[in-house]
Amino acid sequence: MLKLKVVKTDMLLYAVTDCMWLGSKSLKVQVEDAIKSGVTFVQLREKNLDFEDFLKQAKEMKSVTDRYRIPFVINDNVEVALACGADGVHVGQHDLEVRNVRNLIGQDKILGVSVQTLEQAVLAEESGADYLGVGAVFSTDTKPDADTVSLNILKEICAGVSIPVVAIGGIHEENVLDLCGSGIDGIAVVSAIFAQLDIVKATVKLQQLACKMVFTTDY
């Protein structure tokens, strides 16, 4: 049975989906290619689908992540997460309050929370978060209005909590190693995987760089 609580190694290469770059392959196939190439965690993010279409896509995705025993969470939508049997949900600072989300999903489900400050990080952990997503660590086209988080703040957050931390926002092959020594447990990426012509090649490279970044204390 798939474990429902995350460990630090689950965070190594965290893929956040985006249908913007769908080509000839379906999102389900893209995600499976990414998992087989090194992705360790999947978040399904859909902002513009109605409930039924979102749920259908979530069920399809879960069939893939279950097959490879990869943790699978839904972005923001608790109702879809519960309906599809996802392993959990990920929420931002402007979504539902963390304690309320924990009460809705129960103690066995994964709860991820986006944070940008040490104060937010500590509060999220105290309120029931299982892991944190910190960003944007670099400027990103996915969320052009997102404020960036400095390397020093990233280090403070990692040192100030006991739960796993993943960095997100503008991360790609050329800047992964700039995060060495920050204390993060992995990287979360969107376009660095799903916008690439060769998803397999891109994922393999990112997984190698993520390993080097996590296990290098100074760079």
pLDDT tens-digit map of 132-148? 999 999 987 666 666 89
Look at residue 106 and tell me whether its pLDDT is greater than 50: yes
Of 5, 36, 45, 59, the active-site residue reads 45
pTM of the model: 0.94
Whether 143 is catalytic: yes
Structural fold of domain 8-214: TIM Barrel (3.20.20)
Helices (H), strands (E): how many in the chain?
8, 8
Per-domain boundaries in the chain: 8-214
> Residue range 3-30: average pLDDT?
86
**Least confident stretch, 26-30, 86-90, 108-112:** 26-30
Of 5, 28, 36, 143, the active-site residue reads 143
Tokens 């304690």, located at residue: 99
**Whole-angstrom distance, CA of residue 160 vs CA of residue 180:** 18
Whether 45 is catalytic: yes
pLDDT for 147:
81
Q: What are the DSSP calls for 19-71, one per residue?
A: GGG--SS-HHHHHHHHHHTT--EEEE--SS--HHHHHHHHHHHHHHHHHTT--
pLDDT band for position 181 (cuts 50, 70, 90): very high
Of 37, 109, 114, 205, the active-site residue reads 114
Look at residue 4 and tell me whether its pLDDT is greater than 70: no
Look at residue 40 and tell me whether its pLDDT is greater than 70: yes
